[in-house]
A = this chain, B = another copy of it.
Amino acid sequence: MPETYTHTSVWHYRQGTLDSTPESTPIVREHAATLYVNGEPWLTFICSPIALEALAVGFLFNENVITSLEEVDQIKLKEEDRRIQVQLNHPAQKPAQFHRTSTGVSLQPHIAAHEVGADFTIQADKVIALYDQLMAQQKLHDQVGGFHSAALSDGESVPIIVEDLGRHNCVDKLTGLYLLRHATFIPRALLLSGRISSEMVYKTLALGIPLIVSRTSPTSLAVQIADTSGITLIGYLRKAQFDIYSHPERLIAA
């Protein structure tokens, strides 16, 4: 069974100092498992690779495809748990339409190999200042709770901010606003209030953004893609400190 988490290197920025030696830290793994029903692929779960049979059965029950376990003839995990094959004792209609709060369609990067912001460097305390601007400008989160916020920065200011109940919606809206406003600045940083999953990084590749910052955690796949693509990925930003998961060379200590 694939592991639910792995370890990665992280560089700390604390009290004005950027560590030169990374520490090892545990990190969530993203596992993609495709559900096949009666031989037909239905959808791919991005999940933790535990209780995958339960995930399939629970999903089919909750979606009203089955009403009891007796309708399930067989469940098999194949290809290192990347396929969950469910055989029912009756035909089932694959749903024609999906909805989402926080998922997309493809798992492939928008641009396979794209050297992002090779020339871009930034002072560590500037990262904190930009993130403070996002926090200061988010309104719904402070008034209501339950909202995510996200912003695009040129590395100096934070011209585009959005809020939405979904993390992924925020990123799509930022991209859309950037295009619809015919914004002319070069996007240098994506600032997020929520977790950094692989999709966030894939989406960032499309705009060639070299820096992603969040106050929460990234997943291991997000870090891997950021590392390969030359993106600096920062998590756990709190007041005057943060952790760097990839490409620390872009940061200059104050």
CB of A96 to closest CB in B, whole Å? 8
Residue among B53, B144, B195, B219 making CB contact with A5, cutoff 8 Å = B144
A141 to B156: give the CA distance in the assembly, Å.
35
CB of A194 to closest CB in B, whole Å? 11
Chain A 25-66 residues near chain B, CB threshold 8 A: 26-30, 32, 34, 41-48, 50-51, 53-59, 61-64
Q: Is the CB of B5 within 8 A of A140?
A: yes
Q: What residues of B have a CB within 8 angstroms of the CB of A180 in the complex?
A: 53-54, 57, 69
Max chain B Cβ within 10 angstroms of own Cβ: one of A46, A62, A106? A62
Task: Give the size of the chain A interface in residues (CB under 8 angstroms).
Answer: 77
* CB-CB under 8 A for A43 and B98, given A175-B62, A176-B58: yes
A162 to B43: give the CA distance in the assembly, Å.
21
CB of A139 to closest CB in B, whole Å? 10
- Encode A93-116 as 1/0 by CB contact (under 8 A) with B: 001011111111111001000000
- Is chain A's interface secondary structure helix, strand, loop, or mixed overall? mixed
B-binding segment of A130-138, A164-172, A185-193? A164-172
* CB-CB under 8 A for A62 and B171, given A98-B43, A101-B197: yes
Q: Is the CB of B103 within 8 A of A64?
A: no
Q: What residues of B have a CB within 8 angstroms of the CB of A197 in the complex?
A: 101, 165
Residue among B26, B55, B104 making CB contact with A59, cutoff 8 Å = B104
A87 within 8 A of B: no
Q: Is the CB of B104 within 8 A of A45?
A: no
Q: Which residue of B lies closest to A100 (CB)?
A: B103
* CB-CB under 8 A for A164 and B47, given A172-B62, A206-B61: yes
Pairs A–B under 8 Å by Cβ, sample size 17? A4-B144, A5-B140, A28-B146, A28-B147, A32-B99, A34-B99, A43-B100, A46-B166, A47-B169, A48-B147, A51-B173, A54-B177, A55-B172, A58-B179, A64-B110, A69-B180, A145-B217
Max chain B Cβ within 10 angstroms of own Cβ: one of A4, A27, A169, A197? A169
CB of A24 to closest CB in B, whole Å? 12
A237 to B206: give the CA distance in the assembly, Å.
40
Extra pairs beyond A28-B147, A55-B172, A58-B177 (19, CB < 8 Å) = A4-B140, A44-B97, A45-B100, A45-B166, A46-B100, A46-B166, A48-B169, A55-B169, A55-B176, A56-B176, A57-B175, A58-B173, A58-B175, A61-B179, A63-B106, A64-B110, A95-B106, A146-B218, A165-B197
